[in-house]
Structure formats: C-alpha cells, structure tokens
Amino acid sequence: MSPISQRSKRIDSSGIRKVFDLARSLKDPVNLSIGQPDFDVPDAVKQAGIQAIQDGYNGYTPTQGLPVLREKMQAAVDAEYGHDDRQVFVSSGTSGGLVLAMQALVDPGDEVILFDPFFVMYEPLIQLVDGVPVLIDTYPDFKIDIGKVEAAITDKTKLIILNSPSNPTGYVPSQEEVDALGKLCLEKGIVLISDEIYRHFDYDGDFHSPAHVNPNTIVIDGFSKSHAMTGWRLGMVHGPAEIISTMLKVQQYSFVCAPQPAQWAGMEAMDVDITPYVDTYRNKRDRIVDALSGKYEIVKPGGAFYVFPKAPWGTGSEFVAKAIENNLLIIPGNIFSESDTHFRISYAASDDIIERGIEILLQLA
C-alpha cells in the first residue's frame, strides 16, 4: 500500500514550476513567466524588517498578528467598509489565507465555483480538502456572466472565488459585474472569497470590492505584489467575525503566525506610496499591448501585471513550446484553464526584457 494520501495524488506539481525548472536549463532566457515584481522592496520597509530583527523581535506573535499592525489594518478596513462585524487578521501570505479559508469552510463534497481562467492554486486547494471545483467559462472576454453563475449554483455550492484584478488575465470586472455577484451570494447564502492581492495594480480605476455590497465577503490581500515582498509571507484577511475566528483556530494549529520581522515591516509598508510602481507597470502594459495587438487577439488587461493573448496558431501549449525553443519563457494557458488556447505573459520585467520578448513574439505570430 502506498503511504501517499489519495487527496495529494489528485493534484499535480504546478505547471508554472515546471517552466521555472526549464528556465534553469536555458542560457540567458527572455523570461516573461514570473509573477513577481521586478522592483525591490522599498528601502524603508527593508530597514523596518532589519531593525525588528536587530531589536530582537524574532519570536512568535499572537496568531492573529502583532496588535499594533492588526489595529492599523483594522482601522483601514473600518474606514473603507464601515461594517460592524468585519474583523482582520494577519496571515502567512495570501496563499496562507486561501489555505485557511478552504480548511475552515469546505467539507468533503462541497462545491466551489471558479471563473475559468483561474489562479493556478485554487483548484488544488479545493481538491486537498475534498471539495469539488466547478468551473465557469469566461472566454473570450473574461467577463462575469451572472446568468452562468446562477445556473452553476446547486444545493452543494459552498463558496465562490473572485480574483480581481485577475491572474492570469489581468481582467478587472466592472462594478456592475462585481455587485451582481456579491448580491447573488448574499441572497443564496453562499460565501464569497475576494482575492484582492493585485488591487493596487488597477490602471484604469475600475477595481471594486464585492465587500461593499456583501458584508459577508471574505477579503484576502497582502504585501507580496504591491511591495515586492513575495518571500516575506505577509498577508491579511478580513471578513465576518464567525468565519475569521474559525480561520484563526486553524492558523493556530498550522502556520501559527506570520513571521514577526515581516509584520513590523508591514507596519512601515502601509505608509509607503507605491504610486510610482503602479505608474511604471501601467506603461509596461500599454507598451506590450500596443506592440502585440496587431498580430494577437488580446483583451486589454485592466490590472495586475499579466497579458493573456490567444495563441495565433496551434494550441497554447504548442505555441509556448515554440516560444521556448526561441529562448522566450511564457506560460501556457491550460495551466490556468480547461482550455488550451491562450498563453500568459508577465510584464513584471525590465523594459529591455519586455522589448526582447516583443521582438520574439512578433516573429512567432
């Protein structure tokens, strides 16, 4: 008998990791595959983390986070939403928040609705708690069709996950789409998780959180993308007190707490103006979309730092294989989707790398 659990056998290693492994075998690849900011952690944030370490703040914190950081986060959440029952805690990254939400809310056989294409982590996390992913096709424009959502709801539907701005498409749903989804979940008694890790990378002012119309929404956010703190594992979750207290109970017996030095750095990060970074990425988006739109079918992304074009020939996987042969690393769309028609470009890269990538993509079209 194999010692490996059946639930872990249901999931595969991330296809993105496989591309990263391939990258190590290439000499000086043009890498437009990584979903990580190419700017460094702001100096003030780094110094706050260093100071915390030197001052001896290296032990456990309360499971819910440093009181001073949590109070600062709670004040910001209260100012934005004004909900009497909305509580916040510090998670070990956004991914940690997602893991806790699945463990706290999903029982075996419960259905969780995802919008296809979806962030690569969602489906495996659902499967690891014996939930059932239910995918709603959003091609070709990635819009939320509330009629499709209603049709997908059954008496087993427990959760719906919204990711805006989206990874991998960069799509930012309109306020009308988001409000309709939030109200539907409220009406049906379905928990809505809003993954807002890219909310600061909103280039056209369209981002809107469903928590504004649905007070039961669980919002998951963090510092990884906005402050380039991907390795610091610092996130935040806020939502109804009953759910938050259950997630904290699970965190107590799993992650314990987010790293203490990172939490002190998060205090500083909350006061850093990241507008210059957002403006830079808006320009990168415009450059790559303008350059490729003549030869590729592209829905112009409103946020995050991804473009999700349709492959100009063959499947998405076949096209990506050819790109890799030409020393360009991009991600096939079937990693994020049941469809194999598109591919993901990350423009979280230097302008030089982006220009080299554009040149190769124009040659391959």
Length of the chain: 365
> Contact 95/121 with Cβ under 8 angstroms?
yes
Average pLDDT of the segment spanning 88-97 = 96
pLDDT band at 249; cut points 50, 70, 90: very high
| Rounded CA separation 339/269 (Å) | 38
Indicate the CATH number of 6-41+274-364 among 2.70.170.10, 3.30.470.20, 1.10.3720.10, 3.90.1150.10.
Answer: 3.90.1150.10
pLDDT band at 2; cut points 50, 70, 90: confident
Average pLDDT of the segment spanning 40-54 = 97
Average pLDDT of the segment spanning 324-346 = 95
> Contact 33/23 with Cβ under 8 angstroms?
yes
> Contact 280/228 with Cβ under 8 angstroms?
no
pLDDT at 348 (0 to 100)? 96
pLDDT at residue 307 tops 90? yes
> Contact 214/186 with Cβ under 8 angstroms?
yes
pLDDT at residue 15 tops 70? no
| Rounded CA separation 53/139 (Å) | 48
Side chain identity at residue 293, one-letter code: S
Nearest-Å Rg of the Cα atoms of the chain is 20
Pairing state between β 306-307 and 328-329: unpaired
DSSP label of 42: P
The widest CA-to-CA distance across the chain, in whole angstroms, is 57
pLDDT at residue 187 tops 80? yes
| Rounded CA separation 105/179 (Å) | 23
Phi, psi of 103 (to 5 degrees): -70, -35
The helix (H) or strand (E) run that includes residue 123 is: helix 122-128
Residues of the chain within CATH 3.40.640.10 domain(s) are 59-269
Cα 76–Cα 77–Cα 81 angle in degrees, nearest 5: 125
Higher pLDDT, 19 or 103: 103
pLDDT at residue 14 tops 90? no
Average pLDDT of the segment spanning 93-109 = 97
Residues of the chain within CATH 3.90.1150.10 domain(s) are 6-41+274-364
Which CATH fold topology does 59-269 show?
Aspartate Aminotransferase; domain 2 (3.40.640)
pLDDT at residue 22 tops 80? no
pLDDT at residue 278 tops 90? yes
Side chain identity at residue 197, one-letter code: I
Phi, psi of 27 (to 5 degrees): -95, 120
